[in-house]
């Protein structure tokens, strides 16, 4: 922590020198990197920082609330929440092609972010949570899979378009340093150790068309998966885990009646770099607890299956 404290002091000095008395906008996603950037900037420049959080309605359970609590109540940043939930849902209506969904979500994000950003007067800088590995990957192969993935996280050509200068206070750091910094800056452990989450969020885990009802089902099931992994002490060892709502109904029984309901698939992987991954051998008891809880408490689900595919040839996500 002594090392990390020094690193924080260094970054803070750097930010202050670059920024002077100008206003900085930081986009919050709910994830680790943007949260650490915001916490660092808040420490460095206090109320010269404005944060923008676009609530796309596609986040995991509790994430949107946590952004408000952390950056509105705990760190009292000038937090602008853009409630774009219905904007995203409307734009996604009738769309079931995965790449099309990604495109729409990217477009709507930029649209919402821009709207919010222009309402903040006199902003000169835009802060982004680029890490050292992102810098290397996109330098080595700007069109490679890593760059394609990352392009969903950042705001594309937005800085230039809005006349912002970009600042990337984490660009010399690795993920473990960023996490340590987050803890040192006072961010909660569960946020700092959160599994990665795709920019398009639950939309690519809700196979086929995305609807408000499906999102409710998926979010509830996903929260159970995560909760059971935490209770079993496996959350950190599993590097990414989640629920997927399959576009499959199947027959079940309840009392003397027949049901015809949705299927939840549980996905858990171990991986170092997310380019390759092995399915995680979750203990049967843990799988059993997840299945029982999902089926008993998530309405409209009567079946839970476990994905035992590795990457390649499967991908981590289903879409």
Least distance from C-beta 49 to ligand XMP, angstroms?
24
The single residue among 199, 228, 235, 244 that binds ligand XMP, judged by CB under 6 A, is 199
The response to whether 54 counts as a known ligand-binding position is: no
Q: Which is nearer to ligand XMP, 11 or 319 (CB)?
A: 319
Least distance from C-beta 311 to ligand XMP, angstroms?
5
- Interface stretch with ligand XMP, choices 1-9, 60-68, 120-128, 311-319 (CB under 6 A): 311-319
The response to whether 34 counts as a known ligand-binding position is: yes
Q: Which residues contact 10 (CB under 8 A, 6 or more apart)?
A: none
Least distance from C-beta 17 to ligand XMP, angstroms?
31
Least distance from C-beta 316 to ligand XMP, angstroms?
3
The single residue among 31, 198, 287, 298 that binds ligand XMP, judged by CB under 6 A, is 198
Please tell me whether residue 317 binds ligand XMP under the rule CB under 6 A.
Answer: yes
The response to whether 32 counts as a known ligand-binding position is: yes
Three-state SS at 220: helix
Distance CA 158, CA 164 (A): 8
Distance CA 254, CA 200 (A): 35
CB 101 within 8 A of CB 89: no
Q: Which is nearer to ligand XMP, 74 or 150 (CB)?
A: 150
CB 242 within 8 A of CB 229: no
The response to whether 248 counts as a known ligand-binding position is: no
Least distance from C-beta 219 to ligand XMP, angstroms?
16
Please tell me whether residue 201 binds ligand XMP under the rule CB under 6 A.
Answer: no
Three-state SS at 128: coil
Distance CA 230, CA 242 (A): 12
Q: Are strands 257-270 and 301-306 parallel, antiparallel or unpaired?
A: parallel
Distance CA 153, CA 198 (A): 8
Which has the closest alpha carbon to 291: 301, 299, 279?
301
Q: Which is nearer to ligand XMP, 45 or 52 (CB)?
A: 52
Please tell me whether residue 133 binds ligand XMP under the rule CB under 6 A.
Answer: no
b/e map 86-109, b = 16+ CB within 10 Å: ebbbebbeebeebeebbebbbebb
The response to whether 31 counts as a known ligand-binding position is: yes
Q: Which is nearer to ligand XMP, 60 or 303 (CB)?
A: 60
Please tell me whether residue 315 binds ligand XMP under the rule CB under 6 A.
Answer: yes
- Interface stretch with ligand XMP, choices 19-27, 168-176, 281-289, 308-316 (CB under 6 A): 308-316
The response to whether 257 counts as a known ligand-binding position is: no
Q: How far apart are the first and last CA of the chain?
A: 39
Distance CA 212, CA 172 (A): 40
Which has the closest alpha carbon to 235: 198, 193, 292?
193
Name the β-bridge partners of 265.
244, 305
The response to whether 33 counts as a known ligand-binding position is: yes
The single residue among 102, 214, 219, 303 that binds ligand XMP, judged by CB under 6 A, is 102
Please tell me whether residue 311 binds ligand XMP under the rule CB under 6 A.
Answer: yes
Please tell me whether residue 274 binds ligand XMP under the rule CB under 6 A.
Answer: yes
Task: Report cis status (omega within 30 of 0) of the bond before 179.
Answer: no
Q: Which is nearer to ligand XMP, 219 or 293 (CB)?
A: 219
Q: Which residues participate in the annotated binding site for ATP? A: 29-35
Binding region for ligand XMP (CB under 6 A): 102, 149, 152-153, 196, 198-200, 240, 274, 311, 315-317
């Amino acid at each position: 922590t002594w090392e990390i404290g020094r690193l924080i002091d260094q970054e803070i000095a750097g930010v202050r020198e670059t920024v002077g008395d100008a206003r900085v906008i930081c986009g919050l996603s709910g994830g680790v990197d943007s949260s650490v950037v915001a916490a660092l900037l808040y420490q460095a420049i206090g109320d010269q920082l404005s944060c923008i959080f676009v609530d796309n309605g596609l986040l995991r359970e509790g994430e949107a609330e946590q952004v408000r609590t952390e950056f509105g109540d705990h760190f009292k940043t000038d937090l602008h929440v853009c409630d774009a939930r219905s904007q995203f849902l409307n734009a996604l209506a009738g769309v079931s092609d995965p790449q099309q969904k990604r495109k729409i979500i990217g477009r709507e994000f930029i649209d919402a972010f821009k709207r919010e950003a222009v309402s903040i007067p006199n902003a000169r800088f835009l802060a982004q949570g680029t890490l050292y590995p992102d810098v290397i990957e996109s330098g080595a192969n700007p069109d490679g899979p890593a760059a394609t993935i990352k392009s969903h996280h950042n705001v594309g050509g937005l800085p230039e378009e809005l006349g912002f200068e970009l600042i990337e206070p984490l660009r010399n750091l690795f993920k473990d340093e960023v996490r340590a910094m987050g803890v040192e800056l006072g961010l909660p452990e569960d946020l700092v150790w959160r599994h990665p989450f795709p920019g398009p969020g639950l939309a690519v885990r809700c196979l086929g068309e995305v609807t408000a009802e499906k999102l409710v089902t998926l979010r509830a099931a996903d929260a159970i998966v995560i909760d059971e992994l935490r209770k079993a002490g496996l959350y950190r060892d599993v590097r990414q885990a989640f629920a997927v709502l399959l576009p499959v109904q199947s027959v079940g029984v309840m009392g003397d009646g027949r049901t015809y309901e949705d299927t939840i698939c549980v996905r858990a992987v171990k991986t170092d770099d997310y380019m390759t991954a092995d399915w995680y051998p979750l203990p049967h008891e843990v799988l059993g607890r997840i299945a029982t809880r999902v089926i008993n408490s998530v309405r409209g689900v009567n079946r839970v299956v476990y994905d035992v595919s590795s990457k390649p040839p499967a991908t981590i996500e289903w879409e």
